[in-house]
Each structure stands twice: as structure tokens, then as C-alpha cells.
Amino acid sequence: MTDWTRQGAADLGRAIGRGDIDPTELTETYLAAIAAHQHGARIYARLTGSRARAEAKAAAGRAKSGMRRGPLDGVPISWKDLFDTAGVATEAGTALLRGRTPGADAAVLRNATAQGLVCLGKTHMTELAFSGLGLNPATATPPNVNDAAWVPGGSSSGAATSVAFGLAAAAIGSDTGGSVRIPAAWNDLVGLKTTPGRLSLAGVVPLCARFDTVGPLTRTVEDAALLLAALAGGQAADLGGATLGGARFMVLDTIAFDDCRAEPRAGFDAAVARLSAAGARISHAAFPELAEAVALSGILFTTEAYATWADTIEANPDVMFAPVRDRFRSGANNSGPDYVAAWQRLDRIRALWADHSAGYDAVLLPASPILPPDAARLLSDPGYFAAENLLSLRNTRIGNLLGLCALTLPTGTPSCGLMLMSAPHTEERLLRIGAAAESALA
């Protein structure tokens, strides 16, 4: 018998459309798998069983009557625990928000529900989404799919592992500095970072509103394209006939390769060689201003994050994991004029980047310069936590700083992803390129 929990969302949707899968049976299969899994409670903060069953029953009725709402109608997915879910606690991975129960769904959850997607539950995450490692002793740290002793990547840690362990067909996360792409890369998944403003943030617990984005974590690029369309309430990108023939890629030879460890570098180099063999034209280029942009991240991210959460944190600081709390607090050291000046400089760098990258279909980088660190060492060594967290976020943060959309793909080397970055609001083109690259890397 086919294991439904190892199939992608698109394949499951097609099987529902053919009548080969009943959405109610599919949902019960996932709920049972979560309940039976040794790491189920470390991946899901809470299940929405009653809602899932009701949504699956409605999807089954539509399938039988030929009235399916879209290609993913009846497919069960998970949601990071910062997307508001009506009547269900949404706590963003922190005791600071314990018991917070919204009265309405987040806008993207409403859109997905309107397309017939089934909400399985809410997944664990880094506290208030402010770390790339996925370590959260305050609630739970999901295991990495390649080694249970490793962290899964964050902050969409449970989102990634729900898919990687076969406990959801796909997942929805958020990405402020890499929080979709790092856990996707470290768990051998596809992760899409959308352009700021592409998807609604209404009903999403904020971190840094100017950088926050919503994006899917999936098994395939096709799944990512379909999820993007469902979240936006629009049409999916046409991936048919996608090819790398004549595609122009830039390998960005800058700080992205500083301190890049052996496995991620080897996985990246092998992946680029396969893209070239499939017809892509590979160029190498530098962008000296990038180092300055990355240096600005310390003031840009921490200032907004602490301004957003200072009152809540300082009302009960001891309930937070100290390294995450202290990272928030570092934003108190920045002045208003310095923050404004940093944004003004970043806007000028973004304009320079647009000129520098014009003519390329995508820019290529290792999704992360490091492998997932050991969770026990991170807990016992604050200096190690700080250093590894900054490294984990460095490459993905480039896309956030420059306001781009980006996609990470598995390279075939465990926990090593290939990241493709493209101009703002070019997600459909990026997904077509990604589909062709996915075929070359398979």
C-alpha cells in the first residue's frame, strides 16, 4: 500500500481528484501518525483535530460532487504557531503569550481554508521567531530529520520537521531572516521566502514587520507553487516545460562563503556543476556593498524586534530562553537616528543591487554555510549559540536585507541546501527556474 504520508501535496491532491484518496481517510492517517510518532509532541504544539476532521469531511463531499475548490482541496498541512487560528491558542513559541487565543484566523489561513486545505495543527517554533537554530527549551525543540541530536533550524522548526517526518503534506512558516529556508535546508526540503508584502501578515504574530514574510515548506517546487497560490488566493505558476537551457546564474562570491564549512561548500559546488551540465550559464561576481548591508542587520533587526516586544518581554523576562531574550534586548542600545540612517543606507544598497543583478535569472548561494549544530552544546555554551546562530542566518539574511524572493532546494548532500535568489515580486519566474533546477539536482 502506498504510504500517503511520504507523498507531496500535489500528488495527494491529484489522487483526491481521481477518487483514489478520501480526504477524511487521509486526514485520519495524518492525525494517527502524529499521535503515534515518538517526536509528535516535539513537533506539534497543539493539534486542531475537530477542525481538521470537519474540513476533511467537507472536502470529501466536494470531491464526490465534482466541486473541488482547487488542486489541494482536502490536503492536510501544518501551520507555524504564529498564525492566528480562531479559538485555538497561538503562542509563538513563548510562555510570554501563554493562553493567547485569537478570535479569527490569519488572512493566509482563511485563504488556504477557502481553497480546501485542511488544518492539522500548530507547530513548535523558536520563541517569537528570533533565532535561526530552532532551539527552544521554553516549549520544545523538534529533532532534525538527519540526526535527532541536531537542531532542526528555525524559527519554523516544527513546520519543517512536520513535513520531513511525514506528519504533514506541507507546512506554512514565516521568514524574517531565514526562518523558512534554514529549517527547509537542514531537513532536505524546499522552502520559499516570498517578497515582503506578497502575502498578507494580518493575523501573523510579528517579529520585524518590515522584514517579515510568509512562505511554504514542502517536498517539491510544485507543492511550493501551489501553496503560494492558495495563500494568496490566486493562480499557481505554470511550471510546465521549465528548463535551464540559457538560464543565467550568478554565484555571489562575497562574504557568503566566509567560514563556509566543508559539507555545505561541497554540496553547493556539486549542485552548481549539475545546473551547468543541464544548460545553465554560471558566472561569478562580487558585490562589495553586501558586507555593509549585512553589517547593518544588527541595528535593523534588533531595533524593530525589541521595539515590538520590549513591554511584553520586560514584564516577565525570566520565562524566556536567555540567549533569545538577550538578542532582543540588544536592540535597546540603538538610537532612533542610527536606525533611520541604516534604513536609508540599505535602500541605496538595494538600488545598487538591482542594477548589479540585472540580466541574471537567479543568484546562487549555499542556503547555510554550516550544518545543523548539536542541540546539547548550544544549550550549555551561550557563546557557541551566539556564533552559530549568526552564521546560520548570514546567507539567508542577504535575501531579506535586499528585499528579494528566494528559494532553497535540497542538493542531495544531507542538510545542505542550494539557495536561489531573485528580484522582488518574481516568485512565479523563480519557481519555474526552481522546478528546472530541481530536475537537474534529482
- Taking the C-alpha atoms of residue 97 and residue 439, their distance in angstroms, rounded to an integer, is 43
Active site residue 155: yes
Instruction: Choose the catalytic residue: 131, 174, 179, 415.
Output: 179
Catalytic entry in 78, 122, 131, 155: 155
| Closest C-alpha among 83, 86, 236, 87 to residue 172 | 83
DSSP letter for each residue of 128-190: GG--SS---TTS--PPPSS-TTB---SSSHHHHHHHHTTS-S-EEEE-SSSTTHHHHHHTT-E
| Residue of 77, 62, 73 lying closest to 115 (CA atoms) | 73
Confirm whether 57 is a catalytic residue: no
Query: Left, alpha or beta for 335 (phi > 0: left; psi -120 to 50: alpha)?
Result: beta
Whether 80 is catalytic is yes
Whole-angstrom CA distances from 306 to 20, 158, 175 are 50, 24, 17
Distance CA 151, CA 393 (A): 14
Q: Which residues pair with 46 in a beta bridge?
A: 122
| Largest Cα span, the chain | 63
| Residue pair 126/218 in contact by the 8 Å Cβ criterion | no
Q: Kindly list the catalytic residues.
A: 80, 155, 179
